[in-house]
Amino acid sequence: MNLLDALLLGIVEGITEFLPISSTGHLILSGRLLGLSQTEFLKSFDIAIQLGAILAVVILYWKKLLVDFRMLTKIATAFLPTAILGLGFYKIVKQFLLSSESVVLWSLFLGGVFIIVFEMLYKERKDAAEDVSDISYRQAFLIGIFQSVAMIPGVSRAAATIFGGLSLGLKRKTIVEFSFLLAVPTMLAATGLDLIKSAGAFSRGDFVFLGTGFLASFLVAILGIKFLIYFIKNNNFIPFGIYRIALALIFWFAP
């Protein structure tokens, strides 16, 4: 890896983290295009630069995160299933799933099909929750269970939470914003756990790469968050489903 690789991967992370297209899947595929081997450091790098995207959420939603205590308890409730399952399956995900391009491509493809079918059948309920403060603790916990599916690379944490929330009767803007907020403890925990286990093996140069990826993902994620909020005002998620299918097919059949 060099500084340009770190910069490009940071940009990819910032663009894809909050869209229902899988940032982890895109980082794995981008690594392939850049000719990077799936080393332990690269796997840790892909996890750690998510901190940049987290900071973007904190900057844009700090009032909800730091002032609204009831919102914090709902976020904690939603985070609980991921915390338990994430600890239990950490080794499997890191050692096997994160190095499997096949898992990523199948997840992207099947996820794309699911998004298209879901949107074709979906009708918003009249009593759909208007604001993140209207989310119940039961809904928050179930959203957390949906999010846990995203431990499989290529599924997309954003997609799992968003479509889980829509199926539970939340408005698009409501679940999208809750997905942003839920990303903070989820990615902090994932990054913290990985750094505790792996940071001792990093060289000084590795931390330069991490800092570059972090800064790039932070700046680009701010734009990505604002884009998604604007996009969902007048659009559904079918374009993202089509994109996921097309990307999987390209990597399957490209030489």
Q: What is the pLDDT of residues 146-198, one digit of tens each?
A: 988 888 888 888 999 999 999 998 988 889 999 989 888 887 877 777 667 66
Asked if 183 and 19 touch (Cβ cutoff 8 Å), the reply is no
What is the pLDDT at residue 221? 93
For residue range 187-227, list pLDDT tens digits in order. 787 777 766 766 566 667 777 888 888 899 999 999 999 99
Q: How many other CB atoms sit within 10 Å of the CB of residue 73?
A: 12
Residue in the structure block whose two tokens are 């949906």: 146
What is the pLDDT at residue 97? 61
Asked if 56 and 225 touch (Cβ cutoff 8 Å), the reply is yes
Quote the radius of gyration of the chain (alpha carbons, Å). Answer: 17
Alpha helices in the chain (DSSP H): 3-16, 23-33, 40-48, 50-60, 62-66, 69-95, 101-121, 137-148, 157-167, 172-198, 204-231, 238-253
Give the angle subtended at the CA of 195 by the CAs of 75 and 17, to the nearest 5°: 50
Residue 170 bridge partners (DSSP)? 129
For residue range 54-86, list pLDDT tens digits in order. 889 889 888 777 777 888 899 999 989 888 876
d(CA 9, CA 13): 6
d(CA 218, CA 200): 24
d(CA 91, CA 10): 24
What is the pLDDT at residue 34? 87
Helices 3-16 and 50-60, interaxial angle, to 10°?
Answer: 50
